[in-house]
């Protein structure tokens, strides 16, 4: 079974967490005949994380296996609930960019690179939310 990680950036403005990046057009939306009627037209932008066992386990372990935050942005929660089968998802968690910077000072080889988030000026008000998804291999 193959896995892939998905990472999303949120920013806290006036105590409310929102997606840091604008929504993008869903590539599956134009192929509605292949998807459900309620396929969203726009989806959150993500970074992919390697789903190999060593990388995913390390990121999950360091983040503390927190699960999805209770104050997750509504758009990201809606997308998560619509897109993924719960039995295929593992390692839901999050970290602030401040935590990523602190951890990178201790360990140069940590996969989450603080330079990815350099454009955000307040690392304590920016967080990354991520999860990993198992995909079954097609046997044709």
- Give the start-end residues of each E strand in 21-75: 24-25, 42-43, 47-50
- Inform me whether the pLDDT recorded for 129 exceeds 60: yes
DSSP, collapsed to helix, strand or coil, labels residue 42 as: strand
Please give the helix or strand (H or E) that residue 96 lies within, else none. strand 89-96
- Is the pLDDT assigned to residue 137 strictly greater than 70? no
Nearest to 15 by CA among 125, 129, 93, 123: 125
Q: Which of 4-13, 17-26, 32-41 has the lowest mean pLDDT?
A: 32-41
Domain boundaries defined on the chain: 2-135
Residue 138 has pLDDT above 60, yes or no: no
pTM over 0.75: yes
State the pLDDT at residue 29: 67
pLDDT in tens, 38-95: 667 777 888 888 878 888 888 888 888 899 999 999 989 988 888 777 778 999 999 9
> What percentage of the chain reaches a pLDDT higher than 90?
29
In angstroms, rounded to a whole number, what is the distance separating the alpha carbons of residues 108 and 67?
Answer: 25
Which pLDDT does position 33 carry in this prediction? 58
């Amino acid at each position: 079974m193959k896995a892939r990680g998905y990472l999303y950036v949120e920013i806290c403005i006036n105590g409310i967490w929102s997606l840091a990046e604008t929504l993008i057009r869903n590539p599956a939306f134009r192929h509605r005949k292949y998807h459900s009627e309620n396929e969203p037209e726009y989806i959150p932008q993500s970074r992919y994380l390697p789903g190999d066992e060593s990388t995913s386990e390390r990121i999950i372990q360091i983040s503390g296996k927190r699960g999805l935050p209770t104050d997750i942005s509504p758009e990201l929660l809606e997308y998560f609930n619509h897109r993924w089968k719960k039995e295929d998802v593992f390692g839901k968690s999050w970290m602030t960019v401040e935590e990523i910077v602190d951890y990178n000072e201790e360990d140069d080889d940590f996969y989450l690179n603080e330079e990815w988030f350099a454009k955000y000026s307040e690392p304590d008000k920016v967080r990354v939310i991520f999860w990993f998804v198992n995909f079954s291999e097609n046997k044709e």
